[in-house]
Structure 1
Amino acid sequence: MTDVEFADNFLFAGMKDGESLQLFEQSSRSAYKQETHTMEAMKLIEFDLKQTLTKLVTHIFGDGLDIRWVDCYFPFTHPSFEMEINFHGEWLEVLGCGVMEQQLVNSAGAQDRIGWAFGLGLERLAMILYDIPDIRLFWSEDERFLKQFRVSDINQNVKFQ
């Protein structure tokens, strides 16, 4: 898992009246935000998270990907999302992410910051890169599968057969 953190002077920098915006408040928790975060901070963090991860996946697989975001639950983030891409006509989850629970950030000594985190499913990325149809093959001991990925040149183009 990887995380990104922001202080208010960085998150709101360059925004008109940005100095009057705050990261934190005490309110109620909702589906859209934690009780400690302002809605303005949440909207900017969510935008940064989704924009950054969309650029990452586009960089890996190229332009023209059909991407969608699905609301979900992870114990250390809220709100939380899964990124899915259309792979061979079906939606495939490639990563999970969300705004880090503020209690977790505070326990790391960063009480003045807000952040997001993500985790990639490496098997799912390999499925796309190598055109592997079933994730269960990664736990296979079948030599017919395994020998396809023993190559002398790491830059060799490999496709599942």
Structure 2
Amino acid sequence: MTETSSVYEAAGGAAGMLALAEAWHARVVVDEVVGHAFSHGFDPHHTERLAAYLGEALGGPAAFSTRYGDESAVVRMHAGNGEHPEMDDRAVACFDGALDDVGVGVETRLGGVLHDYFAWSTRGAMAAYPDSPDDVPSGLSIPRWSWEGLVRG
């Protein structure tokens, strides 16, 4: 791993993103708090979609936005469910566990950056519209994250 590569590349590219998405999904569906979000069913391609989203956000190809939609679509899926900080915290804890599951500890530089991204996204972008999906503006692009954090501009 070098910081001249993207976070996506350092995390193993598409295969690394899929492994991380699968590990996170396996944890959240059985979590006593976060599992509620999946209790009414979920897209059978959830992990592939999540892997594509994570990859694009972390410096990989535009696989998510090319195949599935823009940030507005993602945020709308998470909007309108009220504020749920305990669920958000548990989702982040599951992500940290998933990092361990795929061999990237949170205490490493890569693990810390991945944790920071997921925590920022979960508690920020995905929680920004608690009242209604109709509040989410159209045309949002997927935020990009680098070794230094959110890429501005």
Pair member with larger Rg: 1
- When normalised by structure 2's length, the TM-score is 0.31
| Larger helix proportion of the pair | 2
- When normalised by structure 1's length, the TM-score is 0.30
| Larger strand proportion of the pair | 1
